[in-house]
Amino acid sequence: MRRRTRARGRALQALYAWEARGFEGDPEAVADELSGGDAFVRELVRAVGDHRAEIDQRIVEVMPNWRLERLSAVDRNILRLATAEMMYGPETPAAVCIQEALRLADRFGGLESARFVNGVLDAIWKRLHAPEAGPAG
């Protein structure tokens, strides 16, 4: 397994633990506990920690019939992690972010997690890359 793939798994575990603690404390400290200070894990967790409200809003926007709280904690944090990487990790192509999220969903999620995660992330990617509306006329 590649180093960054393993790091994303540790970042997911850190986000899950941070959420289980009620988002108390520094998410990077939680990441350090689980990863031994891996810089990429810290970068991913920091992006979610710094922008969680905006990331959650992006997720909710593409799930009109779902509340974020209804998702499993694993699926919710996979979506947060991949969305953060798509939005704040410009060195990683969106296709890679989505593929890595699908690996996490297959490994840690439920039976339908990968399909669900794929649909949500595809919709988020399309919104992030939608052409700006031009002037009316």
CA distances (Å), origin 41, targets 37, 80, 93, 98: 8, 14, 17, 17
Residues 14-39, mean pLDDT to the nearest whole number: 93
Structure tokens at 119: 């649909």
pTM score of the predicted model = 0.92
Average pLDDT value over all residues in the chain: 92
- Contacts of residue 62, defined as CB under 8 A and 6 or more positions apart, other chains included, come to 120, 123, 124, 127
Side chain identity, residue 20: A
Q: Domains in the chain and their CATH numbers?
A: 3-128 (1.10.940.10)
Q: Does pLDDT of 63 surpass 50? A: yes
The reported pLDDT for the residue numbered 133 is 44
Instruction: Band the pLDDT of 132: cuts 50, 70, 90.
Output: low
Q: Does pLDDT of 137 surpass 50? A: no
The answer to whether the CB of 77 falls within 8 A of the CB of 101 is no
Q: Does pLDDT of 71 surpass 50? A: yes
